[in-house]
Amino acid sequence: MGRAYQNRKESMAKTANAKSKVYSRYGREIYVCAKQGGTDPDGNLALRGLIDRAKKDQVPAHVIEKAIDKAQGGAGEDFSPARYEGYGPGNCMVIVDCLTDNPNRTFGDVRNCFTKSKSKIGAQGSVAHSFDHCAIFAFKHDSEDEVLEALMEADVDVTDVEYEEGLVTVFAPHTEYAAARQALTGAFPEVDFEADEIQFLPQVTTSISEDDQPMFERLMDMLNDLDDVQNIYHNAEQ
């Protein structure tokens, strides 16, 4: 596959309140994941992966516990996922994943970001077909063959396994996330994931010109400032 996955915090790092944004987004995502799939990480692998990622990103334990307690209590906001797609500066493709308790407000806010950066929001499915929806796992290991064998033995549908400088990266369809994670943690109990998530990876990239760069950065910054936005994926090559 040879494609770099995106660091979920890379574009957030420019904002002054980046840390609180990261905490808030993890808190909301953990709450929704626990509410939907159960609050026990051992029985909810998506929650387990999310908690591990949050800890790696230095989210305080009290933020994680508060989100899980809130889900356990059954009360609280009723967030639902919303996905918006469109074309950004330089005709690059953009996917915006949100968790919202008010879809009308969120759509208006996201559309405003596109409009103010000379971009165009599109219909559902307008750009998603140009991305692969992948489960991605990256961890230190010295044999990609051994990793592939463990996944095949567990009957996991694997898209690709890459090895570079002591790091193995596994790509699988997003529907195989739980099976792949279970197979990897079962075969390699000491595994420490450097990446463990589901992302949209672009099939092709679009080069952004120097003239379009400021508007592209404006679009990213405006979207990242929205509380409802969880993740942004794009095919821009900067």
| pLDDT score recorded for residue 119 | 97
Furthest-apart CA pair in the chain: how many Å? 51
Please provide residue 87's backbone torsions phi and psi, each rounded to the nearest 5 degrees.
-115, 125
pLDDT of residue 21: 84
pLDDT at 75: 66
pLDDT for 132:
95
pLDDT tens-digit readout, 83-116: 999 999 999 999 999 999 999 999 999 999 999 9
Nearest-CA neighbor of 21 among 226, 182, 198, 175?
226
pLDDT on residue 1:
47
Q: What's the chain's average pLDDT?
A: 90
Kindly report the pTM of this predicted structure.
Answer: 0.87
Question: Distance (Å, rounded) from C-alpha 127 to C-alpha 96?
Answer: 11
Which stretches in the chain have pLDDT values below 50?
1-2, 7-16
